[in-house]
Structure 1
Amino acid sequence: MSLLHPFLVLVADWWVKMVVFSNISQLKMPRIKVFLISLAIAMFHLISLDWTRFLDPFYLILVTVLFLKPAWKVSQYLFYGMLPFVLTELFQRLTNIYEGVQMVIVDGEKAWLLTLVSVLSILAFLPIGYLASKIFRFDFVTFMTIFQHRIGKKAGLFINLALAFYGLILYPLMLSNREEQNFTIVFQTKNSTSELNLFLTYIYVFGALLIYLNYKAKEYQDQELQRSKDQQLSALKSYSEHIEGLYRELRSFRHDYTNVLTSLNEAFEQEDLPAAREIYQAVLAQSDKRFYDNKYDIANLANLTNSAMKSIISAKLMEASSKGIHLTIEIPEPIGDPDMDLLDVVTLLSILLDNAIEASQLAEQKSLGFAYFAEGDKTVLILENSTVEERVNAKTIYQYGQSSKGDGRGIGLANVKDILAKYHHINLQTDSRGHHFTQTLIF
């Protein structure tokens, strides 16, 4: 039989699945890469044995593991690897596209009209799916984060069980026999008979689970937003109190300085050089040293124009100062927030600063440096902290259970990678040497 017709349909089918996968997983890939992977799967279909079609639900998981290699948990691999397949399959079966597609792929139907209709029907999933996601307000980006938190683990488990059930049981059954009525379970008693359509039941259950997971994702997002607001208000209050304290110190110094100058003036008028020398040595020669304290460096945060960033950074740096960590802060000129969602910015800064503070506390020489400045059309944020180890393995610290503080404590830094996965214009560079660990974010 001619392979051109099934080949075209298979390429379209897997290209749609790859596009859906790329969008919901936030693993952006070049268009040519998406097309080549679709092409490879389609060719494998044509040259492989019939039984390999039972592996269809798991191809995207295989592609993710072998080629993309994101720092995901097993639950995320299963969810993002199987969800595009299940969604497109259910769409084709519910809209009766599936029969036409199978006539071309399996039966070798060579009618160009049927092939064209099949391809267009498959491609129709993209605009229809996009519209449905907007209507039901599905947030697949937030789905990525709730797999790490208690609030969404149970919902994630149920949806993954539903995906596994489709791939391991329902899909093989439907592939073996295309007659949908064969998937009806009959319950018979002495007085009555009831039927359960397995396929339709699965659609209802799967849809309900997906909506429930989306609800949990939004619940988690709302909680994080409220927590972030509370944290910002608390930090802003601390920062205001800190600035007020500095202002009082400056007023006190100005008053003392005026009195000292008066005393010096009297000593000079009386030509009492020993008294003038004593006043100078006791007061003026030492007066500038008080302004080299870390707390005055925190005042450099005045150049941050975003109050949310200013509040969270000031709170963390004041915490570091109170723990005896030497601070270096460089914000040379007024600068705004980076091109990111504000909640993600605050979460990112909180995680990075928490890890930096905890790591530097363990070091012999406790130090933490923070710099934020514009460089051309880019914005650069540098965070440097001292470490116990002479060198930290920068390749592994963003995995779950790893960090610059030691094994088993790296959930926060792993979340940093999840957040940055949503922003492909942001580059994170890490360097570790000489008991110092440096993270550079380029926006």
Structure 2
Amino acid sequence: MERLILPQAAWRDRAGLAALCDALGAAQGDARFVGGAVRDTLLELPVQDIDIATRLTPETVLQRLKDADIRAVPTGLAHGTITAVLPDGPVEVTTLRRDIATDGRHATIAFTDDWKDDAARRDFTINALYADPLTGALFDYFGGLDDLAARQVRFIGDPLQRIAEDHLRILRFFRFLARFGDVADPAGIAACTARANDLMALSRERIADELLKLLRVPGAATIVPMMIDNGILAPVLPEITSANRLIRLISLEKEAGIAGDPIRRLAALLTNQPALGEAIGARLKLSIANRKRLMLALDSTPPANPRALAYRIGVEGAIDRLLLHGAAKNAIEQLGLLSNWGPPRLPISGGVLVERGIDRGPDVARTLRQIEDQWVAENFPDDARLTSIIDAAVDQALRATRN
């Protein structure tokens, strides 16, 4: 039977990659491309990250790269991973491994020279595809090519065992299903449903990272409802009970030509309570900026003037509020007002008001705020109108002082 070959792709011509493969003994069968680069090339998708699996020990890899004058960073030496720094970006090189013991969060591994052993410890069949760097010959030990053709995400071996090894695979299963899958493997879904409580053993940072990756892809509109129906998120995010607003949001993002944003989509899964946004953000250990963004997004005050809103809370926050709380038709129109627009700076300072006779302190702050409020309410008028606003505010402040 004719052997399948990895199609040619731009990433295979990256500067320094051929020299790296040569140093790792590709000609002797000691190194192969693996994982996402192989999978995405077969799907005709752009490739960002390149991973190489090798039969060489980590110490040998380090020496080979040193001899080839390729910079090497021992990023995960205990687990056999070394990063080769090439002109067009890093390449991760990992020695073949097999699991000795796992606890759902960490694995104790041993190095091996058996390609099938290495493939067997991976999560899904479509991620366990290898390719010879020189000939492009493909190596598939668990039916990944057939699953890729069927757009099916399937665990390697027993799904319950794979999940027991690494609980995060529950969320990864649905993320990969959202990105690549048309066929939902019943055994995989059943295993994830049965072991959903295992997610509680994971750090909230790992959960947040995987969940936000899932929410970033268009297929989230189909997969998140499936996760809710099967109780996947309930152990760690019981507040998420409906995906209706997420589905609406993704549709609006597409109609408006706006890239899907995971924080905005997370907000769509929550009820309109800013305090809840703060609580969820804290639970997931999100950055302070993203916690604040969740809170602002969950303020359901109807957005009236989009530019005024953007001035107060930022363009990103205004887009969130328009998409989440605006009427669908109006939201698209109002988003147009923010396209290629940035909030201006108020072209006056308190010093100008002091020069015009207003006392320093609360009087200046109050007058400046009055001027700003009027300027924003009138949609940032030109200098002539701003001068009139300033004159009126100063006159009012001086009269109040005299009285």
Q: TM-score, normalised by structure 2?
A: 0.26
Larger radius of gyration: 1
Structure with greater helix percent: 1
